[in-house]
Structures are given as C-alpha cells and as structure tokens.
Amino acid sequence: MRNLCKVIAFGIIISLFPILFSSCEYVGIGIELGNGTNNYRESTYYLCSRTWVEEWTDNKGDFHRQEIRFYDNNVGEDYVLTVDRHGFRKESSYTFVWDWYDANYTSLRLKYGTNDYSYMNNIFMGNNRLECLLDGYSACFYGY
C-alpha cells in the first residue's frame, strides 16, 4: 500500500511538471526562462539589417527621400535628399547615436548632437516596413 501511494504521488508530480514549468522553453542545450523571444536582440537585428527608406512629396511639390541606417554599435547615418519643383537638389548627411527609449522596443532616441534629438515612437517593424511617429509625424520606411 505504501508503494502504491508513492507511485500515485510520483504520477501526480510528473503530470503537474509541464503545467508548473510551462513558461520555460527549451533552447539549444539549456533552458531559458520566459518566452524565449529575446526581444532586444531580435528588434536590434531587424532594425540594423537594412537601410530604411521613405519618399514623399510635400505640399509645395518638393520631393524628399530619407534613408536611415542603424548599426549594432548604436551609431547610425541619416541621408536626406530634397529636389524642389524646379529641379534644384539638396543633399544632407548626418551621423547620430541611437538607443532604445523604452523597454518594449517601440521607441528610439536619435542623438544628432548636443541637445539635438529626434524620436521615433510607436514603432512597428515587420514585413520589411518600419512604421513610426518620427518627431510626431507619421512615417513609413521600407527596408532595402
């Protein structure tokens, strides 16, 4: 009778084990606690994996093209081309330092110089697109 109780208790423990430890995911050789998404690495890799390009025409008929490139050492490059309706071209290049501005990896702070910041908020990345509010304006960049 004593052995039967031990077998039943062991069976209950074994059946509860997956429920108690369902937040653990087997990854490679070890066990990683949490959901195993590695949000920081995944978001940073996706952000740094391509050049982000947006093109638009403003109310005056001027064409704009902005290319932003992020590097995993937290440095980036911002290239802006403007062609006015008369064909005059203006090109500008900037270097910035960037960091994730929230724990959910949906906001970036870009530091262009002393007290010169831009913010990308409400970031959604996927399907080769980066949608955000860039300094309060809606922007949709495509990855190349």
pLDDT in tens, 4-54: 555 555 555 555 444 444 333 333 333 333 333 478 889 999 999 999 999
**Pair (76, 128) in one structural domain:** yes
- Please report the pLDDT score of residue 13 as a whole number: 53
- Please report the pLDDT score of residue 99 as a whole number: 95
Domain count across the chain: 2
List the domain range (segments joined by +) for residue 27. Answer: 2-36
- Please report the pLDDT score of residue 140 as a whole number: 97
**CA-CA distance, 13 to 75, in Å (whole number)?**
51
pTM beyond 0.75: the answer is no
Beta strands in the chain (DSSP E): 24-27, 30-33, 51-57, 63-70, 75-83, 89-100, 108-113, 116-126, 129-134, 137-143
The band of 59, judged by pLDDT with boundaries at 50, 70 and 90, is: very high
Residue 103 has pLDDT above 70, yes or no: yes
98: CATH:
2.40.128.20
**Pair (111, 76) in one structural domain:** yes
